[in-house]
Amino acid sequence: MKVIISGGGTGGHIYPAIAIANELKAMDPATEILFVGAEGKMEMEKVPRAGYPILGLPVVGIKRELTLDNLSFPFKLGRSLVRAQQIVRDFQPNVAVGVGGYASGPLLLAASLKGVPTLIQEQNSYAGLTNKVLARWARRVCVAYPGMDAFFAADKIRLTGNPVRSDIQFADQQVEAGQKLFDLEAARKTLLVIGGSQGARTLNESLEAGLQRFVEAGLQVIWQTGPAFIERARQAVASVGSPLIKVYDFIYDMDKAYAVADAVVSRAGALSVSELCLVGRPAILVPFPAAAEDHQTKNAMALVDRNAALLVRDQVAREELVTASLNLLNNSAQRQQLSREIKTFAKPHAAREIAEEVIKITRQ
């Protein structure tokens, strides 16, 4: 079997794509897999590191505001469609899988025009525009939330959940390793703050303003800032002069970070939410308000409405986030309830179920 997997742009698209590829290879090592991404985006580096070949398209996203960059969008889209058709013609896949991101549109359209069956993986609780358009040709749409028949034909939908990295599933076995890695005291409560691979300014500025309160409370913080804020964060940590605050621009060992966390502050991207459900950590979600169709708020509310997470809106985070975090860390009953409820959303076998759907549509 030959499979093209297309999409990327963020870790939230790339890591699920790699998880699907790994499952396909585990089920049949002879499977040939080719990734197609967007030139200059992080998938061009992350996918080869995972051991898979990748080709790039010149496609870019269209910006919401009026900019000169938008003038080049139609030309780059046209070039990407031509390039995608060439890739499909040369590789001759049995199936094409789209995981969202710039490159999935041209590639899945080219595959559909060639009669190649396609599968879409929609990660959010509110479907993106590209997937809504591509779904009319797709054989399957694998989703992470119920109620997605508001966007897709019900007979195409499979509720699989979002694939996550395999090491996340075994996070609870990494407590001692995590304490050693982050140089933590086992007797102290620990807050993990993550804003995605690039960090989140609102989360960073909220933490920066409240560091002294965590130190005074005797609490530990693992703070992932993203590369743009790291120097400012280091200066802030130096100013409070406490070893309880651990600051990193990027955390590679997320399984160990989750393992030692008594609570987590996070954006509400699809991958982050799926990981939190799987590890069962009590969470405060701060949705990114500028996400397309405000999908992060919708992701968060799917949990909040079931008492499975807490919500702090971006607009008030600088005033309320630190207080909410301190309150949660000091309320063991609430943490236990949130942990219990968020685990009910976990889909630990998502990658395998999607891989099985990929195989099914090639046999039809």
The reply to whether 197 sits in an annotated binding site is yes
The reply to whether 210 sits in an annotated binding site is no
Q: Are 264 and 281 in contact (CB under 8 A)?
A: yes
Parallel/antiparallel/unpaired status of strands 54-57 and 95-98: unpaired
The reply to whether 273 sits in an annotated binding site is yes
**CA atoms of 75 and 103, how far apart (whole Å):** 14
Nearest CA to 62 out of 124, 125, 128 is that of 128
The reply to whether 11 sits in an annotated binding site is yes
Integer angstrom CA distances of residue 248 from 9, 199, 222: 22, 10, 8
Q: Are 295 and 329 in contact (CB under 8 A)?
A: no
The reply to whether 271 sits in an annotated binding site is yes
The reply to whether 274 sits in an annotated binding site is yes
The reply to whether 275 sits in an annotated binding site is yes
Parallel/antiparallel/unpaired status of strands 95-98 and 2-6: parallel
**CA atoms of 279 and 269, how far apart (whole Å):** 16
**CA atoms of 44 and 8, how far apart (whole Å):** 9
Integer angstrom CA distances of residue 178 from 53, 89, 207, 222, 343: 32, 47, 22, 11, 21
The reply to whether 22 sits in an annotated binding site is no
Nearest CA to 111 out of 83, 132, 142 is that of 83
The reply to whether 202 sits in an annotated binding site is no
Strand order in the sheet with 263-266: 245-248, 220-224, 190-194, 263-266, 283-285, 310-311
Binding site membership: which residues? 10-12, 124, 165, 197, 251, 270-275, 296
Binding site membership for UDP-N-acetyl-alpha-D-glucosamine: which residues? 10-12, 124, 165, 197, 251, 270-275, 296
